Amino acid sequence: MAVQYDPALIGRVFEETEPVPVTAEQIKAFCRAIDETNPLFTDEAAASAGANGGLVAPPSFAVTFRNGRDFFKHVPRFGTRGFDAGKDVEFVAPIRPGDKIRLASHVKEIYEKTGRSGSMVFVVIRSTLSNQNDEVVAHIDHRFMSRT
Amino acid sequence: MATTLDLHCHSEASEDSRAPVEAYLNWIKLRRHERPLDGIVLTEHRQFNRAADYRALEDKFGIVVLKASEVETDYGHVLVFGVNDDILRRFDFSNVRLNAQELIDGVAEMGGVAVPCHPGRPNVGLCEHYEKKPPLENVLAVELLNGGSRKGENERTELLVTRHGYRTTGGSDSHLVSLIGLCATRFEADIRTIEDLVRELKGGRYEAVDFRPRRKAIPRAVHVEAR
């Protein structure tokens, strides 16, 4: 029998976070932490002459925004064991100092598969990051695996 | 003219692969001296990627790109070649518990071929299921060489092939660009379309071929007498 779940779960936004302001200092601190030296991300003067017309965050900055407190309560569970099966990040637009970023999360997909170690159910939660102009800047797909 | 095809690989259309088809073709072009492939068959997990059109890439690289599926059954995973609307109407490819015998017979009736893959793999291969259940009927071929197999899995398949007299195919089961073409199938005939492939799998002459690099022997330690 195929994995059973309420189809209404798919696509319904279950959580939206408050906007989080982004500063140039945060971006530079992130760059220092990951040893990013590209002046497009670290030097306002050099960045203003670059393709983005000003300082922007490196793409991986997108993963620094936290989901809401109740995020995990909304992840559908199948079976009793499982683990975080990874994340896919799609970068859509640059994040800039002064942006206010919020996350909206929904269940994107639930599917079952079989492998060497048995049957598994995967739940994919998509968090969409948007700025104060309602422009999407990134999608983060969190993949959770459960043993059935 | 003979044709060598990787009959089992996954592009980014499969949820667990990050390999763009163009990157596969570029890699084949660069590595033809090691892995002389004429083409690949994309066998996406639990789906048939009907919308994908790779003709422009075929023309750009001069490499055949065909589409098939890898589905999941009560006897393990099975590659389905020659997927058509009739097959998709009858079988829900997202169902991980398809009846293998119904699939093999139904696909054959509707013009395709179903080939059990990585038979030696625990849980999702024929060998383990044959220990508990009667063998499937009307199996034409199984995947003898799978590039993703662990030690002992392809060897277990060899015993299965000897016992049941199946024809054999090979495929890389690649989910990453650099693994494409490690195992493949060499056909005596020229294959350019999925119809050609199905025809040859049903009645043609072919064999699994192995392009995996041989591991270099580790030099034996030499004992030097102290003077």
Q: Give me the pLDDT at residue B220, please.
A: 76
Q: Which of A2, A112, A118 sits opposite B123 (nearest CB)?
A: A118
Please give the radius of gyration of chain B, using alpha carbons only, rounded to the nearest integer: 18
CATH number of the domain enclosing B95? 3.20.20.140
Residue B203 domain-assigned?
A: yes
Residue B216: per-residue pLDDT: 73
- Give the model's pLDDT for residue B226: 66
Domain ranges, residue B189: 3-210
Least confident of A55-69, A75-89, B33-47: A75-89
Asked if residue B186 belongs to a domain, the reply is yes
Q: Are A114 and B123 an interchain contact pair (Cβ–Cβ within 8 Å)?
A: yes
**Torsion angles phi and psi, residue A98, rounded to 5:** 95, -20
* CATH number, domain A7-22+65-147: 3.10.129.10
Number of domains in chain B: 1
Residue A1: pLDDT above 70?
Answer: no
A137: how many CB neighbours lie within 10 A of its CB?
23
Chain A residues with at least one Cβ partner in B under 8 Å: 1-2, 111-119, 122
Q: What is A3-46 written as a DSSP string?
A: PP--GGGBT-EEEEPPPEE--HHHHHHHHHHHT---HHHH-HHH
Using a pLDDT cut of 90, give the percent of chain A over it.
Answer: 82
- A3 pLDDT band, cuts 50/70/90, is confident
Q: Annotate B134-159 with b (16+ C-beta within 10 A) or e (fewer).
A: eebeebebbbbbbbbbeeebbebbee
Binned at pLDDT 50, 70 and 90, residue A55 comes out as very high
Question: Chain centroid to CA B36: how far?
Answer: 16
Q: Which of B78, B96, B156 to mutate to test the interface with A (most CBs of A within 10 A)?
A: B96
pTM: 0.88
DSSP A63-89: GGSPPPTTGGGGS---SS-EEEEEEEE
Residue A111 with chain B: CB contacts under 8 Å: 15, 46, 94
**Would you say residue B128 lies in a domain?**
yes
Nearest residue in B to A123, CA atom: B15
**What confidence score (pLDDT) does residue B17 get?**
94
Reading phi first (left if > 0) and then psi (alpha if -120 to 50, else beta), residue A85 is in alpha
pLDDT at B210: 97
Chain B residues with CB within 8 Å of chain A CB: 15, 45-46, 72, 77, 92, 94-97, 121-124
Report CB contact under 8 Å: A116, B46.
no
Per-residue pLDDT, A81: 87
d(CA A33, CA A31): 5
Q: What pLDDT digit, counting tens, does each position of A94-137 carry?
A: 999 999 999 999 999 999 999 998 999 999 999 999 999 999 99
Profile chain B (227 residues) by mean pLDDT over runs of 10 residues. Answer: 96 94 98 96 97 97 98 98 98 97 98 98 97 97 96 95 97 98 98 98 96 80 70
Give the pLDDT confidence score for residue B227 in this predicted structure.
61
